[in-house]
Chains A and B, each alone.
Chain A
């Protein structure tokens, strides 16, 4: 279990939040604190007060797959191959094994044609796909993704969903503005001005948000009795 206790960080004020294994979507308006919460969980930042633990251990000691909302902030190498391989190389995985891991994840993500490309030549969506492949290549138990889907079309999102499902990650935590995607997660956390307003199963959370635009549009159509 991931436990957030007594946390103050930037605008975040979270007395208590437990996240269980499975897929969790963090939703809320722009500026509600989603990125801050994800950075704490991924161990990329420490709270000013309080603690964040994963199975009782402090964050920062786990293998985490991270996808930043700024596509360009995901990369430290110039080619797609080196970028994806870096996750393996930093773990001292032998070259041959690294090579097969890179090619396998590229194939599953549908980006084999990009492997030899320089990252600076990629489109926004292609960069997002490379960042995801780099985050997932070593099958980390915790994957944290900050609006990876905002640069992708629906067919790429479906490919990534399959990739995440098959990755075997114990925890997948993402923030998104795509409520259809959030509705497919096990748990939804709704942040409002740095505080957790709702947390629970999608059916429960979106019922609380029925009068807002956060309610999935497909559900609204379903409720209208037309579908």
Chain B
């Protein structure tokens, strides 16, 4: 299973992103500053943007989905029950998991935005995906949910998980790092060997690297363990 960007050029308005590389099975983290094209690339990875040049193709992937940054973009149902059912899922199970037991007739837009994101992610993460693309999955979630989602991502059955994010505090364990800089997608390589090349590394990781300490991975526990090695 893999998603291949073969010298692909994807345009968004006035700028272009060049991408070459292959996303194999595992958890990938793609970081990049605001406006660097993360969402554009997330759309391209799931076939929702066609490259102007080059090719983007999937190999061995049967099922895939994209979770968009803004949960409100996904809403198609007028009640929580309808919304959950639109993902082909049984509402009661998801309502219970997300703490909305007995509230299936509520309007999704009556939820707080973070709650809407929680509901949306519960639907997305319940699927069996060969390829799961998550655009800013942590944005708007409280710390408890961020940690829970980071933990769930680590135990997903999905083949390829690509996370596009600017998150700086809570991360799941990831296998490979990528970075969008000045219109290029750079494959930084496997974690933790790629940490020193990560220009947009979170401040804590950068501080550790400056002191010559390389954490095993990005989860809070890994960072805490690394800090205490000092």
Residues A177 and B142 in contact in the complex (CB < 8 Å), given A31-B115, A35-B113, A224-B228:
yes
1/0 per residue, CB under 8 A from A, across B125-145: the answer is: 000000000001001111111
Stretch from A100-108, A137-145, A213-221 that touches the partner:
A213-221
B46 located at the interface, meaning its Cβ lies under 8 Å from any Cβ of chain A in the complex: no
> A122–B69 Cα gap in the complex (Å)?
13
Query: By the criterion CB–CB under 8 Å, are B144 and A213 in contact?
Result: yes
Residues A214 and B143 in contact in the complex (CB < 8 Å), given A31-B112, A154-B202:
yes
Chain B residues near A128: list those with CB within 8 A: 34
Query: By the criterion CB–CB under 8 Å, are A30 and B141 in contact?
Result: yes
Task: Give B11 Cβ to nearest chain A Cβ, in Å.
Answer: 12
Chain B residues near A72: list those with CB within 8 A: 70, 72
B209 located at the interface, meaning its Cβ lies under 8 Å from any Cβ of chain A in the complex: no
Chain A residues near B136: list those with CB within 8 A: 124, 151
Chain B residues near A126: list those with CB within 8 A: 34-35
Residues A124 and B39 in contact in the complex (CB < 8 Å), given A153-B200, A226-B230:
yes
Closest Cβ neighbor of B68 among chain A residues:
A124
> A183–B187 Cα gap in the complex (Å)?
35
* Those of B18-77 within 8 Å (CB) of chain A: 33-35, 37-39, 69-70, 72
Query: By the criterion CB–CB under 8 Å, are B168 and A30 in contact?
Result: no
The range of chain A's interface size is: 35 or more
Task: Give B99 Cβ to nearest chain A Cβ, in Å.
Answer: 8
> A123–B69 Cα gap in the complex (Å)?
10
> A217–B218 Cα gap in the complex (Å)?
13
1/0 per residue, CB under 8 A from B, across A201-227: the answer is: 000000000001110011011001011
Partner of A124, one of B69, B142, B200, B224: B69
Task: Give B96 Cβ to nearest chain A Cβ, in Å.
Answer: 16
Chain A residues near B143: list those with CB within 8 A: 177, 179, 212-214
A163 located at the interface, meaning its Cβ lies under 8 Å from any Cβ of chain B in the complex: no
Most chain B C-beta atoms within 10 Å of own C-beta, residue among A31, A218, A226: A31
Query: By the criterion CB–CB under 8 Å, are A69 and B144 in contact?
Result: no
A70 located at the interface, meaning its Cβ lies under 8 Å from any Cβ of chain B in the complex: yes
* Those of B102-117 within 8 Å (CB) of chain A: 111-115, 117
Task: Give B61 Cβ to nearest chain A Cβ, in Å.
Answer: 26
> A6–B140 Cα gap in the complex (Å)?
29
Chain A residues near B216: list those with CB within 8 A: none
Chain A residues near B210: list those with CB within 8 A: none
Closest Cβ neighbor of B40 among chain A residues:
A123
Query: By the criterion CB–CB under 8 Å, are A150 and B140 in contact?
Result: yes
A178 located at the interface, meaning its Cβ lies under 8 Å from any Cβ of chain B in the complex: yes
Query: By the criterion CB–CB under 8 Å, are B114 and A177 in contact?
Result: yes
Query: By the criterion CB–CB under 8 Å, are B224 and A220 in contact?
Result: yes
Partner of A177, one of B70, B141, B166, B230: B141
Chain B residues near A154: list those with CB within 8 A: 166, 168, 202-203
Partner of B35, one of A31, A123, A180, A214: A123
Partner of A31, one of B34, B111, B146, B220: B111
B173 located at the interface, meaning its Cβ lies under 8 Å from any Cβ of chain A in the complex: no
Residues A221 and B227 in contact in the complex (CB < 8 Å), given A152-B34, A177-B142, A179-B143:
yes
Closest Cβ neighbor of A225 among chain B residues:
B228
> A34–B203 Cα gap in the complex (Å)?
28
A184 located at the interface, meaning its Cβ lies under 8 Å from any Cβ of chain B in the complex: no
Chain A residues near B34: list those with CB within 8 A: 123, 125-126, 128-129, 151-153, 156
B181 located at the interface, meaning its Cβ lies under 8 Å from any Cβ of chain A in the complex: no
6 closest A-B pairs by beta carbon, nearest first, are: A30-B114, A125-B34, A213-B143, A153-B166, A226-B227, A31-B112
Show 23 A/B contacts (Cβ-Cβ < 8 Å), sorted by A.
A30-B142, A30-B145, A35-B112, A72-B72, A117-B13, A123-B37, A124-B69, A124-B70, A126-B34, A128-B34, A151-B34, A152-B166, A153-B33, A153-B200, A154-B168, A155-B33, A177-B146, A214-B143, A217-B220, A221-B204, A221-B224, A221-B227, A224-B227
Taking A123-B35, A126-B34 as known contacts, 6 extra A-B pairs with beta carbons closer than 8 A to each other, sorted by chain A number, are A69-B140, A124-B70, A150-B139, A180-B169, A221-B204, A221-B223
